[in-house]
Chain A
């Protein structure tokens, strides 16, 4: 047991100390940080030159306008000459003169280009309201008359929000799950196959096999890679949770977070469920196959080719999910959700759509775990033979020789 852990930790430490791991883990955070930063900078940068000034003799009306349009108005500018100077320096988009002339509200916009359409709507709405108040006051109507005139037709839109969100949540969950499974599988099958293949036929393997059994070494290697995967997932979970908490509080994202609160929570719920177990076990079975594939290369120099067959299988399983994303009750989905190598994609799809009951999930998990155990047992038996032989024959000959070389 002790030697198994020595191999596990050696593999783990060597991987996490490598630059490729650091880049792999930090990559998404850096991209997220850069895009957030860029978004914030462009949002801030757009502000100063797109504001307008409001100039009016009527202090109350000016303040009322500014109050409702804080973000679009530079309230420090109060005179036409100041506004013109600011426009020359590109600090103002234009200025709006608000006045009342013979009981009529007059709003005139001066600018180098036409007024921003949303701001124009706001100005029109504002001036209409003021004009209406003025009209009612001048007409000397009773309160009842005013209320009568203010009556509007009623239009209501009733959307069953829960179902809509649930459907979007399912689609997002599907893509996030499938994308995560695919990315992690492709990355780690590559790393595992290379790790194993780089040792193929080297004499260091003879030294190692004179120190510990091939099965302990093989299982140790696979466990080492799995520890790396777990670390990455853990970092993402912690990072993701931190990001979620920050996003709920940060001024820039607070609104979006509260608007899509239900959606985000149901996506998270779909991910942090039994699907995570399928994801992990999927990584385990693909890692074992990748290790086997790595052991089958002719020589260490071919390490880069080692992962190809496993990556192909993963790509195949990934692509096969596409036609079924809207037909999750189809028979192939049901069948594939029990087949190891495919079940890590297909069972989570069914779980997200509540298509699978507890028993079906348990059976699929059982088949997956049993396959992992059998594969580990079988490969660790023939691993020594595969790793020690170095002949340059065909794939099947190497495979057969590996079997006969060993016990």
Chain B
């Protein structure tokens, strides 16, 4: 388990992290979200011991030092490899730095290249590969040594939907193998799809923390999707409805001031008859992200 306790970091006068607390169990995926400059990379750098920070970060109850490095797989935000090496040399070199013997890693390379559908062979030089394929090779370097703690900084950026799916597969596989995974993303769909937990940072502070459904539900089921032949004006007359937006023809999104108004609205709207759609939901992660990012710090 990764445990981050009361971690703070200051750069001169800027408070990059302020009393951050969260944990990631083995076999769990945590999504770290936040705007640019919110403190996501600083959090990763603190976990990886690149920075001096206040507080405590432990992996399996031990501080993260070079004895733990072998269990970590880290993908930095921007991609960069040693361009003059071949794919095989690069993968083997980085795996050896994770204490994995070359003879154990070499036979696995072809399988991994296939798994990520890399266009090229292991004998190709890194510089001869396209940007997307280099990114995939870097992902292989992050995962091939079977890490138990995987840290991925913006892993989906620059990947097309097909390749993003391949990465999701690999992340879920690692989760099944018991790895604790933490990744940052701006794409809330990916976070919603993959994560067991999420943490949102804003100006170095945690503003959201919990499972995806807990976080969403904490905002109340104030979003009501209905498909009806009622007019917009009539819908606006319903109790506790603050706004009505027509999404498609006859399909509306009603914003409720209070989620408890749902029952009363249902009764009035259906009048005991069939209705095609009545779906009361909490706001989406995207909306929550926008709300939180835009809000002044509480």
How far is the CB of A312 from the nearest CB of chain B, in Å?
29
For the complex, is B98 an interface residue (Cβ under 8 Å from A)?
yes
Report B-chain residues with C-beta under 8 Å of the C-beta of A204: 80-82
Given the complex of chains A and B, what is the CA–CA distance between A212 and B80 in angstroms?
17
Q: Determine, out of B68-76, B246-254, B267-275, the stretch whose residues face the partner at the interface.
A: B68-76
Q: Say whether A2 faces chain B, with CB atoms less than 8 Å apart.
A: yes
Interface size on B, residues (CB 8 A): 28
| Bitwise interface map of A from 265 to 283 toward B, beta carbon under 8 Å scored 1, else 0 | 0000000000000000000
CB distance from A213 to the nearest CB of B (A): 5
- The stretch from B45-53, B107-115, B258-266 touching chain A is B45-53
A212 (CB) vs chain B CBs: closest residue: B97
CB pair A212 B66 closer than 8 Å: yes
A400 to chain B, nearest CB (A): 11
Which residues of A are found within 8 Å of B187, using beta-carbon distances?
Answer: none
Q: Is the CB of A211 within 8 A of B69?
A: yes
Secondary structure at chain B's binding surface: helix, strand, loop or mixed?
loop
B174 within 8 A of A: no
Cβ-closest chain B residue relative to A209? B50
Q: Is B97 a contact partner of A406 (Cβ separation < 8 A)? A: no
Inter-chain contact B74/A207, CB cutoff 8 Å: yes
Q: Main SS of chain A's interface residues?
A: helix
Q: Is the CB of A207 within 8 A of B94?
A: yes
Which B-chain residue is minimally distant from A14 (CB atoms)?
B84
Q: Are A210 and B141 in contact (CB under 8 A)?
A: no
Check B78 for interface membership: any CB of A closer than 8 A: yes
Is A202 among interface residues, defined by CB-CB distance under 8 A? yes
A161 within 8 A of B: no
What separation, in Å, do the CA atoms of A407 and B97 have in the docked complex? Answer: 22
Residue B278, interface by CB 8 Å: no
B205 shortest CB reach to chain A, Å = 22
| A204-B82, A207-B74 given; A3·B50 CB < 8 A | no
- A206 beta carbon closer than 8 Å to chain B: yes
Asked whether B51 lies within 8 Å of A206 as measured between CB atoms, the reply is no
Instruction: Using A203-B78, A213-B66 as known contacts, say yes or no to A208 and B97 having CB atoms under 8 A apart.
Output: yes
Q: Mark A209-226, 1 if CB is under 8 A from B, else 0.
A: 111110010000000000
Within B89-141, the residues touching A (CB, 8 Å) are 93-94, 96-99, 141
CB-based contact B141/A207 at 8 Å: yes
Residues of A near B70 (CB, < 8 A) are: 211
Bound Cα distance from A406 to B45, whole angstroms: 11
B99 touches A407 (CB 8 A): no
Chain A residues with CB under 8 Å of B82's CB are 204
Instruction: Kindly identify which residue among B72, B77, B80, B94 contacts A202, using a CB–CB cutoff of 8 Å.
Output: B80
Nearest-Cβ distance from residue A303 to partner chain B, whole angstroms: 13
A6 lies within 8 A of B52 (CB):
no
A201's nearest neighbour on chain B, judged by CB, is: B80
Check B97–A206 contact: CB distance below 8 A: no
Interface residues of A in 12-69 (CB under 8 A from B): 14
Does A298 have its Cβ within 8 Å of any Cβ on chain B? no
Say yes or no: is B79 at the interface (Cβ < 8 Å to chain A): yes
Chain B's closest residue to A18 (CB) is B84
A50→B135 CA distance, assembly (Å): 73
Q: Mark B35-56, 1 if CB is under 8 A from A, else 0.
A: 0000000000100101110000
CA of A232 to CA of B19, assembled, Å: 54
B150: min CB distance to chain A, Å = 11
Taking the closest CB of chain B, its distance from the CB of A295, in whole angstroms, is 15
A384 beta carbon closer than 8 Å to chain B: yes
In contact, A206 and B99 (Cβ under 8 angstroms)? no
Give the distance in Å from the alpha carbon of A49 to the alpha carbon of B174 in the complex: 84
Q: Please indicate the chain B residues that have their CB under 8 angstroms from the CB of A3 in the complex.
A: 66, 97, 99
Q: Given known contacts A3-B99, A211-B98, A213-B66, is B76 in contact with A206 (CB within 8 Å)?
A: yes
Contact B52 A210 (CB under 8 A): no
25 contacts between A and B (CB under 8 A): A2-B99, A3-B97, A6-B93, A6-B97, A7-B97, A10-B93, A203-B76, A203-B77, A203-B79, A204-B80, A204-B82, A206-B48, A207-B74, A207-B75, A207-B94, A207-B141, A207-B142, A209-B48, A209-B50, A210-B151, A211-B97, A213-B66, A388-B45, A405-B51, A407-B52
7 nearest interchain CB pairs? A211-B97, A203-B76, A203-B80, A210-B74, A206-B76, A202-B80, A407-B52
